[in-house]
Amino acid sequence: MKVAVVGATGMVGNVMLQILEERNFPITELILVASEKSVGKQITFRNKNYSVIGLQDAVNLHPDIAIFSAGGQTSLDWAPKFAEVGTTVIDNSSAWRMNPDNKLIVPEINASELTKEDKIIANPNCSTIQLVMALAPLHKKYKIKRLIVSTYQSITGTGVKAVQQLENEYKGVKGEMAYHYPIHKNAIPHCDVFLENGYTKEEMKLVQEPQKILNDRSIAITATAVRIPVVGGHSESANIEFENDFNVGEVRKLLNETPGVVVQDNIDTNTYPMPIYAHGKNDVFVGRIRRDESQPKTINMWIVSDNLRKGAATNAVQIAEYLVENKLI
């Protein structure tokens, strides 16, 4: 099994390698790939040193799987070149997600859609993944009519530059800014670029991607995405209106029985999900589950997950595991 990690020197690429090692993914040859400026860098994996190579050299090696986390333009330019030589690409950028010819996969929900013909598979947005992990079992049981979601997103979703900005601000040091404003002691209602409709690109991902993954365009979704000064993961407040009524205890039980979802919901002991505890874990944590008393058939919940793990790297590796287990490569 020849596995290429494209964007191996980046924040998500680094976590990708950790997860491949943790989950003992079957690799006979590891190919670490990055931009020209990183070629020749040394990275240790399973106690062995590897040299980073360029994209064309990686294509020439014909890997079985290439996991991309190198930005949208790199994916648009290079994923088809890998696919042409028979490589199955799992892409972590937004480049292919809403393309009707490419599957958008969260393994616990829709991996069964995958076939050998799928050569470029899209990994959903980080905030989408944790959201649909909680929504999928509820949609199946009660049918979601409308969703209002507000996200409180970790700076790690922006990358190393944002982490450095926060650290500089903690220390009172002037440095390069990832955001238009200070992030320390602040909340910035601006994730990704603004679009013509007044929403950000991140907010529209939260509208469109769940509809595609759940295979239901009738779900009405509106979103607000906010960047906050935390590193452990993304948090989401979800208000979900169903077609059919529900029992709150039944909702908790349903979520608790969902693989990859952990219910943390006991107000007597102040137990609820928080990014400080989600950090470094692969599960999606759900709590503050309560009926919306302002209108019928509606529930509120709080959803937290490590955005670099289940929100990115873990989900991508799980897709790769599914491909191997089901002999789709």
User: Catalytic amino acids?
Assistant: 126, 234
DSSP alpha helix (H) spans, the chain: 11-22, 55-60, 72-84, 107-110, 126-142, 160-171, 201-213, 248-256, 275-278, 314-325
Separation of alpha carbons 128 and 210, rounded Å = 6
Q: Coil, strand, or helix at residue 151?
A: strand
Separation of alpha carbons 43 and 171, rounded Å = 30
Separation of alpha carbons 148 and 129, rounded Å = 16
Query: Of 262, 254, 270, nearest to 306 (Cα)?
Result: 262
Query: Of 70, 61, 58, 78, nearest to 10 (Cα)?
Result: 70
Q: Which residue has the tokens 């969703």?
A: 147
The contacts found for 19-22 with CB under 8 angstroms, 24 or more apart, are: 19/282, 19/309, 19/313, 19/314, 19/317, 20/45, 20/317, 21/45, 21/46
